[in-house]
Amino acid sequence: MPDHRSGTPTPARRTSAARQWLWIGSAAVVVVAVVAAVALWLPTRATGPDGRHIVERRTPAEVFPGGLARQPSSDNQPGRFAESARAEGQDRTADRLAEIADQPIATWLTNPSVTATRATVHRVVANARTQDKTPVFVLYAVPDRDCGSYSKGGTTRSEYVPWVRSAVRAMAGSHAVVLVEPDAIAQIQNCERLSDSRLPLLRKAVDALTGHGLTVYLDGGNENRVPVDTMARWLRQAGIDRTQGFFTNVSNFYRVDQERTYADHLADAVGGDPHFVIDVSRNGQGWKGTWCNPSGAGLGQDPHVAAGSSRLDALLWVKTPGLSDGTCNGGPAAGQWWESYALALVANRRD
């Protein structure tokens, strides 16, 4: 009890008050820590053109801490075939395939199974962590994938966003780079039935990916697919303002200088300074007249993170060299290993 004559608290009351202030101070520290942690997960926003709220785009070094991770051996298809060739005494073939296998290659998530997808993500993330490098994933399970063409498949409409959310939970905290659905936007140009549903669905995917420490890029097509203004409008509708930017040339063959020019024009048209990455896995000989297993194609530059002096964040190997584009020009089914084509890509690689 306080001494009413002097107004001085008793020792017991002083101890209680000290404890109360200690508890308040500790709580304040926890609140500050939580706020700081949340701030790390939430992108900083800046006001862009037309009053749009646009995330603050990061530098390549921030997007790809440590550089590009290599795949675990279980997911590295060229590596498995190189090992088989060596076991059979085909050392020359093994050495040539190793030129593909030894590079950082993106991991495609194509299986509609939530369980299988999460297992792949956990495996790749754990392997990247041992390297202190950044894993790159490709989401490729959108409903009506490839508009029913060579790579048809994907999830159902009701399954897609839950599938994305499940993959995101497995990736959270990994600082992974995620390329969302190659062709999914560009293909609207020649697949009219996608025009109403595809962009809202991709926007929901962006919603699911946002706020988990991941870096997201959307489909930017390539220089010879969709008019720049149209692609820019579609990218805005798909939610690019909440991503790092877009990717170009995935599974295609256009040269880097051409794609950079196109990507810069597209970025200007989008507004808000989006960044981009370019697939250079098979563009060493440039465009060869078709996107589907062209003869004479070669490996491009080794994948690497850009210096950060422009909007180009990285040159990546997104398409796995040696996997078929489809049953065209003598190829097996899309996504199947085609060893003779892989060896030709090595033989024709960019010097």
Q: Which amino acid is at 89?
A: G
Active-site residue set: 146, 183, 325
Helix (H, G, I), strand (E, B) or coil at 291: coil
Place of tokens 């089914």: 333
The conformation of residue 70, written as its DSSP 8-state character, comes to P
Q: Residue 295, Cβ neighbours under 10 Å: how many?
A: 13
Place of tokens 């004479």: 296
- For residues 167 and 343, the answer to whether their CB atoms sit within 8 Å is no
Structure tokens at 199: 């962009």
Q: Detail the DSSP E strand segments found in 33-130.
A: 45-47, 53-55, 107-109
Q: What angle do CA 328, 334, 340 make, to 5 degrees?
A: 70
Comparing C-alpha atoms, which of 130, 72, 63, 60 is closest to residue 104? 72
Q: Detail the DSSP E strand segments found in 85-142.
A: 107-109, 136-139
Q: Crossing angle, helix 114-131 and helix 157-171, to 10 degrees? A: 30
The conformation of residue 69, written as its DSSP 8-state character, comes to P
Comparing C-alpha atoms, which of 348, 345, 351 is closest to residue 100? 345
Helix (H, G, I), strand (E, B) or coil at 179: strand
Rg of the chain's alpha carbons, rounded to an integer?
25
Helix (H, G, I), strand (E, B) or coil at 155: coil
Q: Crossing angle, helix 256-270 and helix 228-238, to 10 degrees? A: 60
